[in-house]
Each structure stands twice: as C-alpha cells, then as structure tokens.
A and B are shown apart, each in its own frame.
Chain A
Amino acid sequence: MINAKKSRDRYYLLIFILPGLILYTMFVIYPFIASLLLSFYKWPGVGPKIFIGLGHYKELFFGAFRNDVLNALIHNIYFFTVTSILELGLGFFIAIMLASNIKRASLFKTIVYIPNMIPMILVGFLWGLFLNPQVGLVNQILKTIGLGSLARPWLGDATLAFPTIILVNVWRNLGFYVLILLASILNIPNELMEAAYIDGASPWNVIWKIIFPLSVPTFRTLLILMFIWSFNVFDIVYALEGAQAGPFRTTDVLGTLFYRTAFGGLGSGNTGMGLGATLSVFIFLIIMPVSILYVHIVEKGEK
C-alpha cells in the first residue's frame, strides 16, 4: 500500500480517481436521487414542474394507476419464479452433464452459449416470426407432424402469451446459467469426488451429496442477480408484444409500464415523467434489499 501523504502522491491519487468517480456519480448515482426528487412533481417532460408532494404515490398505491402496477408486478414475480426454476433447474442438469467424462464437452459448451451472444431484441423478433399463428414455423411443424390440433396463436392468446415469452427468454438465456454453474462445478476439488467413488458412491449420490451442496453459493448469487434482472425485463416483451404488452396487457411488466408511462403513454391515460419516476422509485424499493445483499456478498468475497 502506498500511503498518500506526500502532496505529489495526493495529486496523482486525485487524477486516478476523479474522472471515473465524477462520470459514475453523474450518470449512475445522481439519476437515482433525481428520480426520487422528480417523483414529488407533476411534469409532462416540458414546461414547469408542479410540486404535488406524495400525490403520485397516492395514485400508485390507491388510485387508478394501482391496477396497472399490480398487473405488471404480478407478471414480474411470475417471470422471476418460472425463469429461475427453469434456468437454474435445467441449467444445473445440463451443467452436470457437461462436467462428466463425455467427449466433445467443449463443442457442446460453445453451442449452448450461442443464443446468449444474440441481443434479446433480435431473438424476440426471430421468434416472433416463428410463432406467427398462420405461417409461423412452430405451428407449421406441429401440422406437419400431425399435431395440428396443438397449433395456437401463441403470442395472441391471453393465457399463452406470457408463458411463451418466458420460454423464448429461457431459450436465449439458459446457456449463461449452464456455463456459470459448470464453472462452479469444475471448481470442486477432484479428490472429493474420487474419495466418494472409492467409497462406492453412485453418480447420483455424487451429484446430490457433493456437487449440489457445493454449488449452493453459486445458486444464491444467481438467484440474487435473476431477481434484480427480472424487475428489469423489457426487451423481450417489447420485441414480441410491443410497448402495449398485448393481448390486453396480459404480458405487461413493470419495464413496459414504466416505458409507456414516462415516454410513450399512448393509450395508458397516465402519462408523465413524474409518475414514471414514482414508478421507478417503487421498483427500486422492491429490488433494494436484494441489491444491498448482493453488494455485501461481492465486497465480502473480494475482501
């Protein structure tokens, strides 16, 4: 450690710290504080701001806006629950297979990660074409293999649209979770498993008695990240259902609601930057405990 007591050292210390610190404070930290301040004002984006105190919060918790928020919030929780079960469950299962003594594991690793390299918005557009009810490939395949009765308007059906979105999301993201879990499995000391084999353990036992317990910290970190990311979902809904989150808002999430409220409230009736900022504060309050936990874990792990 260099003790920055000499004036020359202090001078260089400031040069190293200030550029990054200023930019980070201006464009990452300050906007959160500004959102909080803005939430107390009524403001359509131009013209004077009108102070209304907790007016927007009243509207959010007790007014007409509440139903929109509740509807979106439920979808976010649904999204988090289903994606975390599918992505962590399937991800762990596939990671175990890739960690075994099979050949060509690295080729499979590459394939598994491919969808992750494609932006979510493009993945959404591609699947939007495949899921078209009349001429989309998915329904055409079903008809070709004699399961035409299963053909559905996947994205146009109020009950199917959101699960379909979740599945497209899983198709795109699963590889990421596979590789993270695989990395954590490969970190387990080989002697542990060797010893278990000498004691006559089956692969099944090794998975549940050794690999799984030692992967729990990774699961925990991934769950935290997934929770934060789940409340940030936007691209995939926007790509497949547009900002209006059709059919009849059955795919609306806080991200699309926020976008409409703040930037393009066509048809939402509740437009304005102030209300949008209030909604962002609300979402932030949901995420905050988990965020603090995450920063704590990261800092502790780093020491």
Chain B
Amino acid sequence: MLKLSKHEKIIVYALLLIYSVMIIVPFFMMVMNSFKTMRGIFLKPFSMPSQFVFQNYVDAWNKAQIGTAYMNSALIASTSVIGIIILSSMLAYAISRYQFPFRRQLFVYTLLGLALPARLAIIPIYIFMRNLNLINTRIGLIIIYVSLGIPFSMFLLKIFIDAVPIEIEESARIDGANPWKIFWNIIIPLIKPGIAVVSIINFVNIWNDFFFPLIFINSKSKATVTLSVMMFQGEYISSWNLLFAGLTLAMAPMLILFLIFSKQFIGGMTQGAIK
C-alpha cells in the first residue's frame, strides 16, 4: 500500500472528488432534464425541474417500447449466458481433465476467438443467418452470442476446473459413476464462483451490445434496449424531454444492478479481463 502524508491525502481526495463529479454530473443532468418540459430543458438546463413531468416517462416508455426491449434484452442475455455456461464448461472440463490427441491444439484453437474481432467476420455470419432464416429473430442473436462467448468462458472456467483436486472425482470414478454425472454433480457445484464470474461478464456484454442487434434485428418488437433507443432517437430527435427520459429508462436496470452488486460486478469484471 502506498503511504501518503496528510498533506498528500488532501490532494488525492480533491482529485478523486473532481473525477467523481465529472462522472456523476452527466447522469444527474440526464435525470433532472428527463423530468422537465422542452422549454424547461432549453431555458433552465441546470436548475431542478420547476415541476416534475412524469408524463415524459409514460410517453418514452410507450413510444420507445421500453418494456418490450427490457424483455427482449433479458431473454436474449440470460438464454445466451445459460448456453455459454453449459457449452464452455463442458469444453473446459474435457480440456482440463482428459488426455487425448490434439488436446493442446484444441485449446489454442479455442483461444483464437479471444483475439478475433467477430465484427470483422459479420458478412459471412449475416449470409449464414439469412440462409438459416434467422435474420430478425432472437434465437439468431442467441446463437451468435453463445458462439462468441465460448473462447473466453472456456478459458476462465478451465482455470477454475484445474484448481479442483482430481482425487475428488477419482473416487467417484472408481465407484463407477459415469463422467456425465461426475461433471454435473461434482465439478459444476465446485466451480460456482467461476460460473458466477463468467455469467456476470457475459450478461453485461450481451445486454450492452449494439452492433449485432443493429445488423440482425429490424423490428421494434424484437429490438434489444440499445437498438430500441437508437430507433427512438431517430424518430424523436427533437423531443429532448422524451430522449432524456428514454435514456434514463434504458440505463436504469444495469445501473441499479451495478449499484446493488458493485462488489461482485467489479470483482468479476476485473478478474475476467486479465488472467
């Protein structure tokens, strides 16, 4: 730990406070202005709303179809996360525990996905999806997210599986339990912390993604939160009161989750980013 004198601490507090203000003020302004009339936003941008116009939220909710967007994003993100966990943990288990030809090559092959920006390969993915009739479907997005989530999740889960002593499952093997049961009943419960980290990271990334919905989804009824706001922004570009309310609604779920579980989020995101 870096030991600072009282003097130095005051400077550090001041700098951190300035930075914190720079982060919080834009959010604060967004929320304040989301309760004002258009006139209020343009005439008195910095003051508190003279009266709180809750109608902005009603209008934004209905016009941007935020409720549908929440449902779509939640459905797509959670289904994808489940798929990622199942496929990646099975793959990680095989690579971690089994001795077989090309084991290392398979590991490196899967790691390649860490360094391949999927967006670059979007044209063939798009054509592929079109041939499978999966354009403008949620399942299409889920398939892509699951595929893209495998490399990183496999890598992280393998670290957790490697740490489980092999003796634990050896006795079960001698008792004749089949590998499938050993995996689900012994390994999976022991790597729950790893599964939590992988789930958080993937969920946030998928919830926040914009590029793939932009390419694959073209109807409001299937749009995710990010895409809905984009469509809404295009239609109501001059109704700032609605735009501020819509942005607040779009950001709210993730912000609230983060403020409640900030420790878990920060732990997960930093643990996952660099291993």
Contact = CB atoms under 8 A, between A and B. Distances in A.
Interface of A: 1-4, 8-10, 12-13, 15-17, 19-21, 23-24, 26-32, 34-35, 38, 94, 96-102, 106, 108-122, 125-127, 129-130, 135, 137, 140-141, 144, 171, 175-176, 179-180, 182-184, 190, 193, 197, 203, 206-207, 211, 218, 221-222, 228-229, 231-232, 234-235, 238, 255, 258, 262-263, 273, 276-277, 280, 283-284, 287, 290-292, 294-295, 298-299, 301-302
B82 to A, nearest CB: 13
Given A31-B121, A114-B258, A99 B45 contact: no
Those 10 A-B pairs whose CB atoms lie nearest each other, nearest first = A291-B115, A31-B121, A34-B124, A27-B147, A20-B87, A119-B208, A16-B94, A31-B124, A100-B2, A20-B91
A190 B1 contact: yes
B179 A9 contact: yes
A125 B120 contact: no
Given A35-B124, A120-B210, A182-B270, 16 more contacts: A2-B97, A4-B98, A4-B99, A9-B179, A28-B116, A28-B118, A29-B112, A30-B124, A34-B127, A121-B229, A179-B270, A280-B121, A287-B117, A290-B115, A291-B112, A291-B115
A144 B46 CA distance: 10
B4 interface: yes
B163 interface: no
Contacts of A184: 274
A102 B9 contact: yes
Interface in B209-249: 209-211, 214-215, 225-226, 229-230, 233, 240, 243-244, 247
B147 A28 contact: yes
Chain A interface helix/strand/loop/mixed: helix
A270 B66 CA distance: 36
Question: Which of A27, A135, A231 neighbours the largest number of chain B CB atoms within 10 Å of its CB?
Answer: A27
A276 B230 CA distance: 24
A102 B99 contact: no
Contacts of A180: 270, 273-274
A121 B258 contact: no
A287 B119 CA distance: 13
B48 interface: no
B259 A110 contact: yes
A238 B150 CA distance: 28
Interface of B: 1-4, 8-9, 12-13, 15-16, 19-20, 22-24, 26-27, 29-30, 41-42, 45-46, 87-88, 90-91, 93-94, 97-100, 106-128, 143-144, 146-148, 150-151, 154-155, 158-159, 166, 173, 178-180, 183, 204, 207-211, 214-215, 225-226, 229-230, 233, 240, 243-244, 247, 250-251, 254-255, 258-259, 262-263, 265-266, 269-271, 273-275
A234 B94 contact: no
Given A19-B90, A31-B125, A109-B266, A118 B120 contact: no
A298 B123 contact: no
A30 B115 CA distance: 15
Given A122-B226, A232-B117, A295-B111, A197 B258 contact: no
A21 B151 CA distance: 10
Given A96-B2, A280-B120, A127 B211 contact: no
> Which one of A119, A255, A287 has the highest number of Cβ atoms from chain B below 10 Å of its Cβ?
A119
Given A20-B90, A28-B148, A28-B150, A126 B26 contact: yes
Given A9-B98, A19-B90, A125 B229 contact: yes
Contacts of A115: 23
B120 A35 contact: yes
Contacts of B247: 122, 125-126
Contacts of A197: 3
A17 B263 CA distance: 33
A299 B167 CA distance: 25
A189 B228 CA distance: 48
Contacts of B225: 119
A261 to B, nearest CB: 10
A218 B148 CA distance: 24
Nearest to B96: A1
A197 to B, nearest CB: 7
A23 B146 contact: yes
A217 B93 CA distance: 29
Nearest to A294: B115
A23 B226 contact: no
A111 B124 CA distance: 40
Contacts of B22: 171
Contact of B99 (A1, A238, A276): A1
Nearest to B83: A23
Contact of B2 (A35, A101, A284): A101
A175 B273 CA distance: 13
A292 B111 CA distance: 10
